[in-house]
Every structure is written in structure tokens, then in C-alpha cells.
């Protein structure tokens, strides 16, 4: 029916790019005349067109085999960079998710940034992300994926830095850019190193190559680790996780997109690269270890945060850690399912919390409370998002975690146990945030808190509805496991771990038995989590400090040793010139000419004498 829409699915990333270019027209001069809003509307329209196109293409594509389109980008000196676009149900489905969430974020921003003047920049950056992510899922090639990831790194810098006159925003943008860039450069090293081995960057061809590849295990490990580092930066994994926390200084509507799908770009590449990573068991083990540390650490840190956006952002790191674990054990489908369920639930959570931040002025959890009586719609949406995130049947998070836990159960029971702990902690974390927001008594910051305008409330409730309907969608897509095949022990354990975490969080933060604010008995441990394992300090004293030191040292050497030597020679020759000038006209040019000529003559004579000897000796020899 819509066959031509499938054929032209490559247009989906183009629409937002057009919107981005159009919003460039709203530079300050025009904004003064029209106000900033038209730039946002233009982008919302192009995103809606993208959404519609990808949705119709998905309907047409469903159940068919993937189609491939090629575009010759660059062919030089034996290197053939041909872009292969994969149009399959999976990739178009991912585009639907991206476009849908971006559309929601754009509508949300209409309300959230009502008073802001930077619409053109903001919407242009959202469009860049939308286009980049759609391009990423379409292109079936590591090289082009790397290119897009790197462009998105720049996008992160500009998107976080929208409110650039606040100092925390500036440092946040800087750290986000540099941290991601570190990951990207490792990825670039991996990209460079992989080509001589495999001779291709095409994901499908890499998978075929990896089946029979005979690579030196040490090399395979190094390449695999480099390839792992790129997604680590994108997914905010330890130790490259700090940027996501600092990125919370950016506007909240961008957080909707970032916390749900932008972080998942790393997971996407990781899933695509799984066959290559699997060449080295060490790499897989490292992936599991990084994922486990991040998931466990992220949930613990999240529990200790008093900033609502940060409490959520560490959960994002934690869930991306789960995708690392999933890829590490070879469960790529589980990884993608986690990405899907997490994206929708997290978007809903972020929209609900933003709805509270906007008209309560503060995002400090300790200053909020008692909002249930004031904000029931937001509260219900938050509950939907929270329950959709953790493994509570029948919502989405349950099925994705079940798939992973089920897959690890036979061979890695320890990981399954770890998943239960992480899930319980995550459940505790969302219950805590809920309790601090909606439980307790009203206070001066929350006593006047109506529900927001429709541009904020509508996307939020829509997100909640999407979370609640996700199981039905999953079932239609036959992504749910067969009842008979399901591992009921694991399912029960997961459910109980969620119930345990949620109820414990509810008891602690909704009940009156424990004095607020709640803290751990040992101050040091509390601070360790609250200050993110002191990662900023570790950065500053290690990598940042050493780069700073080396650059100062280089500068010193440059100034006083290399240039100092030159100036010394200069002074000496001026001195020589001073003594000579009595016999000369005093023209600098003449000196220079004399010096140059003399040096040339000496140089030639010297080299000639050596060279003639050499040739003689060679001739003799």
C-alpha cells in the first residue's frame, strides 16, 4: 500500500534536517520581529512528518524481510566508503520511537520554554539529534555510525550549553563534550584497527567475518575494548558517566530525549558490534563488569541524590549498564528490549518530574513534598513511568528484565542474582523519589502547585498511556515470551524483588516511622554515594590534572628552551652585527642577505667535502 514510503524511508532523517536548516533563519534579527516561536513550530511540523512517514513505513514493512539501499559516498585509493541503509521493521520501528519521543519533547518544550528566547537553537539541536539517531539506526555500517555518534557529541555540547550564560551549564557542556569525545576517540581507534583485520565496516559483513575470523587474541581484545569505550561514553557508563549528571543543567525537554533514546545510541552500536566483541572473551567479561558496576553504582548513587533530575539520570546510567550486561552475555535481543521499555518509561518519568520542576521552581527533592493532593495527574503519570521501569508485571520493564534474567539463569546465575538486587534498588529509588515528591506534608514550595498547561500535561499523560499500553504492543509484535516457555521461577523472583524495593521505599519515604531527611547511618558512605563516588575529584586529580600539567610544561619549554635558544642566537648575532656595522651601510636586509648567503656557501662547502668523501668511500666499498 505504502510501498513508496518504504522505498523512501531514507527521507525520515532528512525532514528534521530541513527543519533544522529552516530554524537557522530565526537568527536574532528575525526573532526580534516574530518572536522565537515559529522556529519551534516549523520543527514540530517536520518531526510530525517524519513520525507519520516512519509509522506508515513500519506498517507496510511489518513481517517482511529487510531491504537494503546503497549510496556511494567516497571511493579513494582502495578505500570504499559505501553507505548501506537497512530498511527493516527493526530500524523503522526504532525511528518511530525516536520521532515519537522527539515530537513529545517538542510539544513539551512549547510549554516548558514558554519564556525562553533560544527556541531556534534549541529546536535545531533537537532536530539534529532526531536526524542523527534516525541516521544511526538506518546506516548499517560502523564507520558511518562513528561519524554520526561524533556529530551527536557536538550536538550534546550545544544542546547542554543552550543556557550558556550560567557557569554550571558551561562546565556541564564542556564535560559532556570531552567525556563523550574520549569515548569517541577510542571508538575511532577501534574503527581504524578493525578495518585491516576485517576489511569491512558493514555490520552484516562483520558478523559473517567474525564467525570465521582468526585474530590474535591480544589484538582482538584491544580492538574490542576500544570498540567498547565508544558506547561507554554514550551510555554514561563508569568511569565515563559524569557527563550525564552534569548535562542535567540543560533544558529539561532535551533531557526527555537524552535520557530515553540519546543514551541508547551507544547500546545500539554495542548490539550491532556484538559479534566482533564476542571474538574476545575478555571483552565480553569487561562489558559485563562495566555494566554491573554502573548498574549497581548508578542505582546506589541515585538513591543518595537530592536533585530530582540527577536521581533519574543515574538510573539511566544503571539501565544502560543492564544493556552492557546483556550484550556481554550475548543477549542482544534482551538489550534492545531493555532499551525500548526503558526509553518509554524514562521519558514518562522525566516529563512528570519536569512538570513539577517547572511550577514549583525547585528541583531539590528535600524542598518538595505533599504534592499528591495538588498534582494527581502528574502523580499518576509518575507512577506509570516508575512501574513501567522496574520489573513489575505486566508492564514493559518486567518483560525486558525477564528476558535478560532468563537468559543469564542457566549459565550465569550470579548475574541473575545481581539483576534482582539492581532491580530492587531501582524500585527503591523510584519509590523514594515518588515519596519525596508526593508523600509527606505540603510545604511553602509546594502549597500552590496547579497542573500545567496542556503542552506539558498532554505529552506526559500520553507517555503514561504509552507505558501502560506497551505490553499490548509488545504482544502484537510477538515480543513477549510464550507462557509455557517462561521461566516462572525467575519471573517470580523478579516480581518479588520489585515489590520488595517499592514497598521498602514506600515504607521509608511515605510512612512516618523514619525521621526525614533519611540518611545512611554512616556519613562517609552517604557522602560517597551523594558525591558520585567522588568521580569529579578523581578526574580532576588524574586526567585533567596531568593534561594541565603537561600543557603548562610544554608551554614553559616552548617559551624558555626552544624559543629561548632562538633568541639567544638572535642576541648573539645582533651583537655581531653591532660590531660589524661600522664597516657597513647598516641595512638589516643586507645583513640578512649576507648571513644567508654565507651560511649557504658554508653549508654547501661543508656538505660537499663530506659528500665527496662519502661517494669516494662508497665507490671504494
Partner 1 sequence: MLSLLIWIPILGAIAIALLPQSRARLGGLVISGAVFALSLVVLSQFDLTNAGFQFREYFAWIETLGLNYELAVDGLSLVLLVLNSLLTFIAILTTKPDIERPRLFYGLILLVSGGVAGAFLAQNLLLFFLFYELELVPFYLLISIWGGAKRSYAATKFLMFTAISGVFVLASFLGLIWLTHSSTFAYESLLGQTLPLALQVVLLGMLLVGFGIKIPLVPFHTWLPDTYVEASTPVAILLGGVLAKLGTYGIFRFGLGLFPEAWAKLAPWLAIWAAISIMYGAMAAIAQKDIKRMVAYSSIGHMGYILLGGASLTALGVVGAVSQMVAHGLILALLFYLVGVIEAKVGNRELDVLNGLMNPIRGLPSISSLLVLGGMASAGIPGLAGFISEFLIFQGSYAVFPVQTLLAVVGTGLTAVYFVILLNRTCFGKLDNATAYYPRVTWSDKVPALILTALIIFLGIQPSWLVRWSESTTTAMVAAVPILSPSTPIVEVLGVEGLGVEPGVNRPG
Map grid coordinates 582502495 to a residue.
Answer: 78
Preceding peptide of 517 cis, ω within 30°: yes
Check binding of 115 to partner 1 (CB under 8 A).
no
CB 422, CB 297: distance < 8 Å: no
Which one, 484 or 618, has the nearer CB to partner 1? 618
Check binding of 608 to partner 1 (CB under 8 A).
yes
**Binding residues for partner 1 restricted to 10-49, rule: CB under 8 A:** 27-28, 31
Candidate segments 307-315, 443-451, 459-467, 604-612, binder of partner 1 by CB under 8 A: 604-612
Check binding of 611 to partner 1 (CB under 8 A).
yes
Check binding of 550 to partner 1 (CB under 8 A).
yes
Q: What is the nearest approach in angstroms of partner 1 to the Cβ of residue 135? A: 11
CA distances from 421 to 6, 201, 374, 508 (A): 43, 38, 34, 18
Which of 2, 10, 41, 195 contacts partner 1 by CB under 8 A? 195
**Binding residues for partner 1 restricted to 572-591, rule: CB under 8 A:** 588
Check binding of 570 to partner 1 (CB under 8 A).
yes
Which one, 180 or 374, has the nearer CB to partner 1? 180
Longest dimension (CA), the chain: 107
C-alpha cell at 466: 504509552
Which one, 68 or 73, has the nearer CB to partner 1? 73
Check binding of 196 to partner 1 (CB under 8 A).
yes
**Dist. CA 72–CA 616, nearest whole Å:** 56
Which one, 169 or 318, has the nearer CB to partner 1? 169
> Which candidate, 134, 140, 237, 128, places its Cα nearest to that of 182?
237
Check binding of 178 to partner 1 (CB under 8 A).
yes
**Dist. CA 298–CA 322, nearest whole Å:** 11
**Binding residues for partner 1 restricted to 486-515, rule: CB under 8 A:** none
**Binding residues for partner 1 restricted to 121-150, rule: CB under 8 A:** 146-148, 150
Check binding of 193 to partner 1 (CB under 8 A).
yes
Pairing assessment for the beta strands 67-76 and 79-87 based on DSSP bridges: antiparallel
CB 280, CB 221: distance < 8 Å: yes
**Binding residues for partner 1 restricted to 146-175, rule: CB under 8 A:** 146-148, 150-151, 153-154, 157-158, 161, 164-167, 169-171, 173-174
Cα-based angle 155, 158, 163 (whole degrees, multiple of 5): 150
Which one, 93 or 135, has the nearer CB to partner 1? 135
Q: Which backbone phi and psi does 480 adopt, to 5 degrees?
A: -85, 145
Q: What is the nearest approach in angstroms of partner 1 to the Cβ of residue 568? A: 12
Map grid coordinates 542523527 to a residue.
Answer: 132
Check binding of 192 to partner 1 (CB under 8 A).
yes
Check binding of 551 to partner 1 (CB under 8 A).
yes
Which of 447, 566, 568, 571 contacts partner 1 by CB under 8 A? 566
CB 370, CB 439: distance < 8 Å: yes
Length of the chain: 621
Residues 6+ apart with CB under 8 A from 189: 226
Which of 25, 30, 56, 189 contacts partner 1 by CB under 8 A? 189
Candidate segments 85-93, 193-201, 452-460, 508-516, binder of partner 1 by CB under 8 A: 193-201
- Using CB under 8 A as the binding criterion, the count of chain residues that bind partner 1 stands at 74
Neighbouring C-beta atoms of residue 367, cutoff 10 Å: 15
Coil, helix or strand at residue 512: coil
Map grid coordinates 516548558 to a residue.
Answer: 112
Map grid coordinates 556519613 to a residue.
Answer: 523
Neighbouring C-beta atoms of residue 359, cutoff 10 Å: 16
**Binding residues for partner 1 restricted to 53-112, rule: CB under 8 A:** 73-79
Which one, 153 or 353, has the nearer CB to partner 1? 153
Q: What is the nearest approach in angstroms of partner 1 to the Cβ of residue 113? A: 15
Residues 6+ apart with CB under 8 A from 595: 573
Which of 4, 67, 600, 609 contacts partner 1 by CB under 8 A? 600
Which of 514, 537, 596, 609 contacts partner 1 by CB under 8 A? 596
Amino acid at each position: 500500500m505504502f510501498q513508496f514510503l518504504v522505498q523512501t524511508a531514507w527521507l525520515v532523517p532528512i525532514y528534521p534536517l530541513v527543519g533544522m536548516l529552516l530554524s537557522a533563519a530565526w537568527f536574532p534579527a528575525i526573532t526580534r520581529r516574530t518572536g522565537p516561536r515559529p522556529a519551534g513550530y516549523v520543527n514540530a511540523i517536520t518531526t510530525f512528518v517524519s513520525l507519520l512517514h516512519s509509522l506508515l513505513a513500519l506498517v507496510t514493512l511489518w513481517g517482511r524481510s529487510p531491504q537494503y539501499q546503497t549510496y556511494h559516498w567516497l571511493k579513494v585509493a582502495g578505500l570504499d566508503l559505501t553507505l548501506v541503509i537497512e530498511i527493516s521493521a527493526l530500524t523503522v520501528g526504532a525511528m518511530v520511537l525516536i520521532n515519537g519521543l522527539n515530537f513529545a519533547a517538542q510539544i513539551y518544550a512549547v510549554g516548558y520554554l514558554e519564556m525562553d528566547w533560544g527556541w531556534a537553537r534549541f529546536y535545531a539541536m533537537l532536530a539534529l539529534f532526531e536526524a542523527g539517531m534516525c541516521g544511526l539506526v538506518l546506516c548499517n555500517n560502523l564507520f558511518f555510525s562513528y561519524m554520526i555518534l561524533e556529530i551527536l557529541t557536538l550536538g550534546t555540547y550545544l544542546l547542554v550549553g543552550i543556557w550558556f550564560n550560567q557557569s554550571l551549564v558551561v562546565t556541564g557542556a564542556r564535560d559532556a563534550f570531552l567525556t563523550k569525545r574520549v569515548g569517541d576517540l577510542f571508538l575511532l581507534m577501534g574503527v581504524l584497527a578493525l578495518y585491516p583485520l576485517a576489511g569491512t565496516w558493514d555490520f552484516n559483513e562483520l558478523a559473517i567475518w567474525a564467525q570465521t575470523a582468526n585474530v590474535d587474541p591480544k589484538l582482538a581484545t584491544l580492538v574490542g575494548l576500544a570498540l567498547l569505550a565508544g558506547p561507554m561514553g554514550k551510555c554514561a557508563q563508569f568511569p565515563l558517566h559524569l557527563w550525564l549528571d552534569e548535562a542535567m543543567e540543560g533544558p529539561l525537554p532535551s533531557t526527555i530525549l537524552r535520557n530515553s533514546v540519546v543514551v541508547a545510541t551507544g547500546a545500539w552500536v554495542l548490539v550491532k558490534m556484538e559479534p566482533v566483541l564476542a571474538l574476545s572473551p575478555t571483552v565480553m567479561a569487561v562489558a559485563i563488569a562495566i555494566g554491573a558496576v554502573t548498574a549497581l553504582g548508578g542505582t546506589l548513587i541515585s538513591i543518595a541524590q537530592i536533585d530530582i533530575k540527577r536521581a533519574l539520570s543515574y538510573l539511566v546510567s544503571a539501565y544502560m549498564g543492564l544493556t552492557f550486561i546483556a550484550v556481554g552475555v550475548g543477549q542482544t535481543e534482551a538489550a534492545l528490549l531493555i532499551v525500548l521499555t526503558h526509553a518509554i518509561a524514562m521519558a514518562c518519568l522525566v516529563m512528570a518530574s519536569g512538570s513539577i520542576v517547572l511550577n514549583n521552581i525547585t528541583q531539590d527533592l528535600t524542598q518538595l513534598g505533599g504534592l499528591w493532593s495538588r498534582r494527581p495527574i502528574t502523580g499518576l503519570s509518575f507512577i506509570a513511568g516508575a512501574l513501567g521501569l522496574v520489573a513489575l508485571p505486566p508492564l514493559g520493564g518486567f518483560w525486558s528484565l525477564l528476558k535478560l534474567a532468563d537468559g543469564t539463569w542457566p549459565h550465569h546465575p550470579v548475574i541473575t542474582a545481581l539483576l534482582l538486587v539492581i532491580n530492587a534498588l531501582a524500585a527503591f529509588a523510584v519509590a523514594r523519589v515518588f515519596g519525596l515528591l508526593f508523600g509527606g506534608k505540603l510545604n511553602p514550595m509546594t502549597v500552590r502547585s496547579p497542573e500545567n498547561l496542556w503542552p506539558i500535561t498532554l505529552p506526559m499523560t500520553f507517555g503514561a498511556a504509552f507505558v501502560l499500553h506497551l505490553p499490548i504492543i509488545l504482544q502484537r509484535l510477538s515480543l513477549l515470551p510464550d507462557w509455557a516457555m517462561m521461566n516462572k521461577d525467575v519471573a517470580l523472583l523478579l516480581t518479588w524483588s520489585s515489590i520488595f524495593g517499592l514497598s521498602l521505599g514506600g515504607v521509608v519515604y511515605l510512612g512516618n516511622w523514619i525521621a526525614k531527611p533519611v540518611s545512611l547511618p554512616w556519613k562517609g558512605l552517604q557522602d560517597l554515594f551523594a558525591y558520585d563516588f567522588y568521580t569529579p575529584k578523581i578526574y580532576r586529580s588524574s586526567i585533567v590534572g596531568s593534561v594541565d600539567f603537561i600543557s603548562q610544561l610544554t608551554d614553559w619549554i616552548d617559551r624558555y628552551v626552544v624559543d629561548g635558544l632562538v633568541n639567544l642566537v638572535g642576541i648573539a648575532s645582533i651583537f655581531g652585527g653591532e660590531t660589524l656595522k661600522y664597516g657597513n651601510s647598516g641595512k638589516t636586509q643586507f645583513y640578512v642577505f649576507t648571513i644567508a648567503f654565507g651560511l649557504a656557501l658554508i653549508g654547501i662547502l661543508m656538505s660537499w667535502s663530506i659528500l665527496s668523501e662519502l661517494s669516494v668511500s662508497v665507490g671504494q666499498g
